[in-house]
Amino acid sequence: MSTDDLASPEPHPVDVVVIGAGQAGLSAAYYLRKFGIEPESGFVVLDHASGPGGAWQFRWPSLTLSTVNGVHDLPGMSFAETTGTDAEQVPASVAVPHYFELYEKQFELPVHRPVHTRVVCPREERLRIETDHGVFAARGLINATGTWERPFIPHYRGAESFRGRQLHTKDYRTAAEFEGKHVVVVGGGISAVQLLDEISRVTTTTWVTRREPEFRDEPFTPDIGRAAVAMVEDRVRRGLPPGSVVSVTGLPVTPAIRAARERGVMNRLPMFSEILPNGVKWADGTVIDADVILWCTGFRSSLDHLAPLHLRGPGGGIPMTGRLATQVEADPRVHLVGYGPSSSTIGANRAGQAAARELTSYLGIGE
């Protein structure tokens, strides 16, 4: 079935639709095939992007394989097999999409793109999935839409009056465009400190966060990772919005961070209270002039298309169940991967396997 074939006015019946072809979506698709679900007739993968790579294809060019936090192998194929020996300086936005493309071809995954999923509605025993390339009638859904499409920028008084430039991590390309301008970097995550370090090499910066960042000098261990995932999993099982993994694991102290400390650019200030036309202002009256505000304030899950399913609970999140908390409690036909505890690349693989196994068992399909 080609993407053009989806344009039929009649719904395409299929057992499972996977929405999203990033790490989590491809992992789920791999395991659906492994568990005996036929591509196209049994399941399809719908991806809104024009090419393979998930969110990786949109990352800033300076994020190379030597600076990226980590690229975890997809099941069945090693990332290292596809990169070559001199890959350290290759942009992640090039290397990872190349890997994903080879992966889709190797396992003959039925990925259709670009297909934008508009809405998912309940229709008796099936889910009606409406897209810009037709409608699907699915018995089950694995949603792997991630967060890249929903950058979060908190509102501060006076934001609309700022005469300089405001942008989000998603919009960042290169530090060179900020030369000669004072940049306020907002956020306490890994991306914030990476971009702060990079920008501070070419111009002056101010770093602000809501909470005092916690740095981790000791190596990242499996126990630390498991503890972080367990805390986030507990939240989603109770129907609360997923928390930040970094708030549990802390920020790794890399050689680049140590060098940035020595240059004096890691002096964090508390969050400002107001944005002025030419800068930012704190509650005590302190003002710093600024030309740019870079919001490294994270993302929210891209789940608006699921609104008609009424999955959210009173806690503001989506109550989850299942072995790895991928199954939606309110509708067991729906699994969310790349959400909550499975938002890391390692967690996404495990979640894809768990979701595929639990959903095929629930629907009574496959081997």
pLDDT digits (tens, 9 = 90+) for 174-219: 999 999 999 999 999 888 999 999 999 999 999 999 998 888 776 6
Q: Where are the alpha helices (DSSP H) in 54-156?
A: 92-106
Identify the CA nearest to 280 among candidates 208, 210, 211, 213: 208
The answer for residues whose C-beta is within 8 angstroms of residue 289's C-beta and 6 or more apart is 182, 278, 279
The pTM assigned to this predicted structure is 0.88
Strand partners, 95: none
Query: In angstroms, rounded to a whole number, what is the distance separating the alpha carbons of residues 117 and 132?
Result: 7
Predicted local distance difference test score (pLDDT) of residue 76: 93
What is the amino acid identity at position 364? G
Domain 4-149+299-363, CATH among 3.30.1180.10, 3.30.360.10, 3.50.50.60, 3.10.300.10 = 3.50.50.60
Phi, psi of 166, deg, nearest 5 = -115, 135
* Sign of the torsion formed by the C-alpha atoms of 110, 72, 75 and 146: negative
Predicted local distance difference test score (pLDDT) of residue 90: 83
Query: In angstroms, rounded to a whole number, what is the distance separating the alpha carbons of residues 252 and 218?
Result: 8
Predicted local distance difference test score (pLDDT) of residue 279: 98
Strand partners, 272: none
Q: Where are the alpha helices (DSSP H) in the chain?
A: 23-34, 92-106, 190-200, 222-237, 246-249, 255-262, 345-363
Residues of the chain where predicted confidence (pLDDT) is lower than 70: 1-9, 66-70, 84-87, 218-222, 225, 244-249, 344-346
Rg, C-alpha atoms of the chain = 22
- Which residues belong to CATH 3.50.50.60 in the chain? 4-149+299-363, 159-214+250-295
Place of tokens 């071809």: 105
List C-alpha distances in Å: 152 to 157, 167, 226, 297, 307: 16, 11, 26, 6, 19
Query: In angstroms, rounded to a whole number, what is the distance separating the alpha carbons of residues 220 and 225?
Result: 7
Predicted local distance difference test score (pLDDT) of residue 75: 92
Is residue 264 classed as helix, strand or coil in its secondary structure? coil
Domain 159-214+250-295, CATH among 3.40.50.2000, 3.40.50.2300, 3.50.50.60, 3.30.70.1400 = 3.50.50.60
**Element at 131 (helix H, strand E):** strand 126-131
Query: In angstroms, rounded to a whole number, what is the distance separating the alpha carbons of residues 32 and 357?
Result: 8
**Element at 320 (helix H, strand E):** strand 320-321
Query: In angstroms, rounded to a whole number, what is the distance separating the alpha carbons of residues 268 and 208?
Result: 6
Predicted local distance difference test score (pLDDT) of residue 250: 72
Q: Mind listing the pLDDT tens digit for each residue in 105-144?
A: 999 999 999 999 999 999 888 999 999 999 999 999 999 9
Identify the CA nearest to 126 among candidates 116, 140, 114: 140
- Rounded to a whole number, what is the largest CA-CA distance in the chain? 67
